[in-house]
Amino acid sequence: MMGWEPSSTRVHEARLDAETDEAARAQFDTAFDLDPRDDAWADTTEAAIAAAIESTSGALTLRAAECRSTLCRVELRGDRNALPPVAPFDGITWWLGDADSDATLLIVRDGAEIPLPADPEATPQ
């Protein structure tokens, strides 16, 4: 599979030390927990996430995916570069974790407010 070029989408990789990473995850978890579930959008988006990860032919493994009304939290294992540039990954996505191991993605629904991490080292790619 051809590598995905981060500059062609609106993906952000949070490069954080362990303490800051924990704080960013807590901030994302709080935003996610406060987000009510929109069953129609969440069900459709969760199915799209599963299909997109399946299309990577094993380069990524989906561990869990849960969507609410404006946010999705996705637990993955694998190479970040294998993430396909298709919906819902073609929108605003935060990747927390190493580029080639376990990671948490936070996907923001188009048109929704972006819960950015407070750490200035979390730089857009």
| pLDDT tens for each residue of 53-93 | 999 999 999 999 999 999 999 999 988 888 888 888 887 77
The mean per-residue pLDDT over the stretch 13-21 comes to 52
Beta strands in the chain (DSSP E): 11-14, 60-67, 71-78, 92-97, 103-108
Round to whole Å and give the CA distance between 107 and 89. 7
The residues spanned by each domain of the chain are: 8-108
Q: Which residues contact 100 (CB under 8 A, 6 or more apart)?
A: 78, 79, 80
Q: Are 115 and 122 in contact (CB under 8 A)?
A: no
Q: Which residues contact 119 (CB under 8 A, 6 or more apart)?
A: 14, 16, 20, 23, 24
What's residue 20's pLDDT?
63
What's residue 36's pLDDT?
93
Please give the torsion angle defined by the CA atoms of residues 27, 33, 39 and 45, in that order, rounded to the nearest 10 degrees: 30
Q: Are 9 and 89 in contact (CB under 8 A)?
A: yes
What's residue 41's pLDDT?
95
pLDDT of 3 higher than 60: no
| pLDDT confidence bin for 125, thresholds 50/70/90 | very low
| pLDDT confidence bin for 124, thresholds 50/70/90 | very low
45 closest CA partner among 99, 101, 112:
112
Q: What pLDDT digit, counting tens, does each position of 31-53 carry? A: 899 999 999 999 999 999 999 99
What's residue 119's pLDDT?
47
